[in-house]
Structures are given as structure tokens and as C-alpha cells.
Amino acid sequence: MKILLLGYGKMGQLIGAIAESRGHQIVGKINIDNTADLEKLDSSLVDVAIEFSQPEAAVTNIKWSLEKGIPIVSGTTGWLDQKAELDNLTESKNGTFFYASNYSIGVNIFFKVNQFLAKLMNETSGYQAAIEEIHHTAKKDAPSGTAITLAEGILGNIDSLNTWQLADQISVNEHSLPIISKRIDPAPGTHIISYTSTIDTIEIKHTAHSREGFALGAILVAEWIQDKKGVLSMDDFLSF
């Protein structure tokens, strides 16, 4: 498989190394310093683009890939207010666009556990829900895309909550879910869901020990989407 890397920071470099170890070829490495090289690239040589860049570059990268007819796997977060536009472009081009806020298999299992717990807590009164996420200081967006996905899983299952808000600490708010974002090196990613009452606290937690799970997951998805069309997600890939 011939892979174009859109974004060549730590994640892009790791994805490239793992991809090559699996017998794939990296045909391009685009970052902030050589974006002009995209227009010189022969798109017919690319089987799939894997996009881990920055929020301000993601939409342009994804649009470029879709316009060129290149299937794209994106893991950049912080731009989702424009996702509907890209979903529509995918459909109009009969293209392939796979987005996930997190490609770790373990995290996607955690998403399901989070939704199940939220359903249980919806039947229980007296608990304040909260999310805490911890990432390395190079991560620009806050809260993390993974935290937002977790928040959506909670909001979709607890009737009394209708929005989430970025907060400095857990505060009692009857209808809002607080998300506390911390940036501490060298943390690759920790997410904690808590439900606190005057009697006790219930917590579930996922801690990433390295970026390898994210990188391998993205490559496995890139291999999987070769014969797929449309707007796809980890639910499609994992068939939950």
C-alpha cells in the first residue's frame, strides 16, 4: 500500500515507521514546511492518505485528498465544527473519509464502557458527572477530541445533561458536563470519567502508555478502507 502522510510530527513519524515495518511504502511526507509539495505530487501514486496534522491544516488536507479521489484517514482533532461540510463533500465525490478522535482499540472499548455506565447513571440521582483529560504540552486543542467523544457518549445517555463546558475544576451544574483539561509532559493521554455524590465516587479511567496504539490503529484502518466508500468511523471498523 502506498501511503501519503499529511502531517509529519511525532505521530506522523511513528505511523510512517510502523507502516514501513508492515511492508507499506511512504510516497510523501507533508508538513508545515513543505505544503507546496502537495501540488507537485502525483496523486495516482497514492493508495491512501493518513492525516495527523494540526487543527488549522486538517480541513485543507482532507479537502485536497477528497478532491483528488484519495481515500483519507484523519485523526486530527480541534476542527469538528466543519466536519459536516467534509461529510457532504465525501458524498458528492463518492469518496472515502474515515475520521476518529482516537484510533486506539482500547480507547474505543472505553467509549462503549462510558456509554454503558452513563445509561446506568441516568437512572440514579445525586451524582455529578465530570471528565478529566491529561495530555502532553504540545497538544494544542483543549479539550481533546477523545474527551469530546466521551462527553457526547454521556450527553446522549443522561437526560439531565444537555451540554459540556471546559472547566478548571469539577463544579456542580445541573445541566452541564465539566471537562477539565491538563497539559503535562510526557503524558500521551489519560481520560477519567467520574460520577461524584456526597456518599461516594464512581470512576472509569483509560491511560495510554505510548502513541503506538494510536499509530497502529490508523494503519489498520488505512488497510481496511481500501475497498470502502463513504463517511466511516471506528464503529464501522470495529463493527460494534
Distances (CA, A) of 125 to 162, 223, 234: 16, 45, 32
Rounded Cα distance between 9 and 128, Å, is 38
The active-site residue out of 24, 68, 139, 206 is 139
How many angstroms separate the first and last alpha carbons of the chain?
26
Using the Cα atoms of residue 220, residue 213, residue 179 and residue 168 in order, give the sign of their dihedral: negative
Give the integer Cα–Cα distance in Å for 71 and 48.
5
Per annotation, catalytic residue among 135, 191, 205, 209: 135
If residue 99 lies in a helix (H) or strand (E), which one and from where to where?
strand 96-99
Catalytic residue check, 229: no
- Residue written as cell 470495529? 238
Please tell me the number of Cα atoms within 13 Å of 60 on its side-chain side: 14
Which grid coordinates are listed for 166?
471546559
Pairing between strand 230-232 and 201-207?
unpaired
Q: Is 209 a catalytic residue?
A: no
Active-site residue list = 135, 139
